[in-house]
Amino acid sequence: MGGRLIGAGLALVLLSGCSAGPPGTEDEEPEPTAKASPTPQPSVAAAPDPKGAITTRPLYTEQITGEASVTLHRVDGDTMVARMKVRNEKGGGFRVWPALADQSGPIDHYPWNGFSGVAWLDPDGRSLHKPYFRPDRSCLCSTSGKSGKEERYLGEGEEIDVHAVLDAPPEDVKAVTLVTSLAEPFVDVPISDGAPDGVEFDDPEDEPDAEPETADLEAVTETRDSMVFDNADHWAVNLPADDLFFPNSARLTGLGTRTLEDMAKRMREERVTEAAIGGHTDDSDDASVSGPLSTAQAESVEKALGEGLKGRVALTAKGYGNGNPIADNGTDPGRERNRRITISLPKDQELHPMAPAPPSGSPSPGASPSPEPPDAPSPTPSTPLWNGPSPTPSAGPGDRRGKGRPAAEFAVTGAAAAGEEPRVDVALTGLRAVSERSALLGYEVTNPGDEEVLLNLDSVSDQWRAFRAGAAHAVYLDSPGDLRAHPVRVRSVDDEKAAPYCLCSSTSGISNGTDTLGPGQTRRFYAVLPIEPGAKAASVKIGVMPEMKGVRID
């Protein structure tokens, strides 16, 4: 696939860490398939891979050295079987069943005794398609036949062959990117026709209560202090309250007034019909103060936009107080990011990109919405926060002009955390478009020293609070226009109010410890990030390491 698109993406997380103890030698359970096959299991192989297909990956775990390989099989127009072989090439026993399960939810939603941790990325990059699940949360997939507390250990030299039944993509789609809980995503995996040889699987036609599961993806981009969230339902634009309002107030600054006048003008031009406005504060005050302040600020924005829109757009306003932080309230930058106004525009409207702009100051957090004196000066520059042609954000980073250099030519050395030693080596392994809206970034980190190193990729950013679980999310793509893309987020399926997961390497749960490198150790990581339509290159920023500019998007 070419280097196109805007943000979206996935975050099944992968494994490592957490071994429950030494493997047992007496547990000889049968090979795990949903139904035992009477014929010998062939190796995982299908139609010849097209040029550029990636169907084999090293395992993402510190416990063993091994690899996983995958094939896809279209059974009919509506059903597809994903098959994967996992081999332990070197190392002690490996708790394989927790590693095979979906990690983007609690164990009662994705039991650790089935191959639920597999999904294909929709070609438009807005969703992940997961296996079929029964009402009891068991999936149409290979299972251990156990409760999930007696996982089989995969010993050195052993191999396991598993499968899962998924909804099939449209018949004109001949290859997809496959995400699992065990390795980096597999890219452009070809879909062969016909059921996999030697595998008996549960047919959805015989399971009327089973339904395929879909997780929505969300792209996050920002310019300086403003952030934009793009998912299948809406655009959500975060504007810094410190720029819009006087300190401790719901009164608009001169900059805030001009910004909202500009937004109203462009919303009229784009024929926007509805928008929702949300006010948010940091946690400097309790709910009795932050609640009324956030409500007053949201209503102030609603009034200003309403005047500019002349009643032609349905607006709603609501204050959320300090209940929905998007950053760490324990730091000044985090509190500043949490003080914000969110403007959401439904996706059923035809909208075009535009980018937020100026740097903001850092006035003190609000206390109560008291009026300001008439002659109070504006605390911020006169440049509007919005300077583009429409009220929607830029699609994503990327440079359409420069071709860039191959990712494999880029490597940097730097501190694992700001101002700290020891140093680590980072080398890119690839930057490749995997859907119409996202690119897969692969990279390796090596500890060249003689002491253990903590990478801090899950905590170096003040946005760690944005995720439901720890992940190596401090990875970005930047473009010449100061637009920065964050890893794609996977919205929680089990709880729509829960924080999303990162479509990047996990550092928590059974992946706990993957962000710690021993002396001389190298580990691979990945992230799926938004890119701009037609982008040919982008700059890559990993943690606090030096930026790598002009990386080609394949």
pLDDT in tens, 22-38: 223 333 333 333 333 33
Q: What class does CATH assign to 218-346?
A: alpha beta
Of residues 187 and 46, which shows the higher confidence score?
A: 187
| pLDDT for residue 210 | 96
Judge whether residue 171 has pLDDT over 70: yes
CA 455 to CA 417: how far, in whole Å? 7
Task: Determine the 3-state secondary structure of 91 from DSSP.
Answer: coil
> Is-cis flag, bond preceding 422, omega within 30?
yes
Strand partners, 456: none
Helix/strand/coil (H/E/C) assignment for every residue in 423-479: EEEEEEEEEEEEECCEEEEEEEEECCCCCCEECCCCCCCCCHHHCCCCECCCEEEEC
Judge whether residue 539 has pLDDT over 50: yes
Asked if 121 and 214 count as a contact pair (C-beta separation under 8 A), the reply is no
Reference 490, options 63, 131, 130; nearest CA is 130
Residue 260: phi and psi, rounded to 5, are -70, -30
Same CATH topology for 56-195+207-215 and 218-346: the answer is no
CATH number of the structural domain 56-195+207-215: 2.60.40
Distance of CA 160 to the CA centre of its chain: 29
Tokens read off for 60: 């993402």
| pLDDT for residue 506 | 87
Instruction: Please tell me the least confidently modeled range out of 65-74, 156-165, 226-235.
Output: 226-235
CA 30 to CA 144: how far, in whole Å? 9
- β pairing state of 501-502 and 516-517: unpaired
| pLDDT for residue 385 | 34
| pLDDT for residue 349 | 64
Tokens read off for 480: 């010449």
Any idea what the Cα angle at residue 183 is, between residues 182 and 186, rounded to 5°? 125
Instruction: Please tell me the least confidently modeled range out of 1-15, 265-279, 410-424.
Output: 1-15
pLDDT tens-digit series, residues 214-240: 999 999 888 766 788 888 788 888 899
Average pLDDT, the chain: 78
Judge whether residue 395 has pLDDT over 80: no
Q: Report percent pLDDT > 90 for the chain.
A: 45
> Domain ranges in the chain?
56-195+207-215, 218-346, 407-552
Work out the widest C-alpha separation in the chain, in whole angstroms.
85
Asked if 365 and 339 count as a contact pair (C-beta separation under 8 A), the reply is yes
Per-residue pLDDT band at 512 (split at 50, 70, 90): confident
Of residues 262 and 422, which shows the higher confidence score?
A: 262
CATH number, domain 407-552, options 1.10.3470, 1.25.40, 2.60.120, 2.60.40: 2.60.40
Of residues 356 and 445, which shows the higher confidence score?
A: 445
Strand partners, 181: none
| pLDDT for residue 48 | 38
CA 70 to CA 166: how far, in whole Å? 14
Q: Report percent pLDDT > 70 for the chain.
A: 77
Judge whether residue 4 has pLDDT over 60: no
Tokens read off for 500: 């999303």
Tokens read off for 332: 């000044």
Instruction: Please tell me the least confidently modeled range out of 39-48, 227-236, 249-258, 463-472.
Output: 39-48
Per-residue pLDDT band at 462 (split at 50, 70, 90): low
CA 178 to CA 429: how far, in whole Å? 18
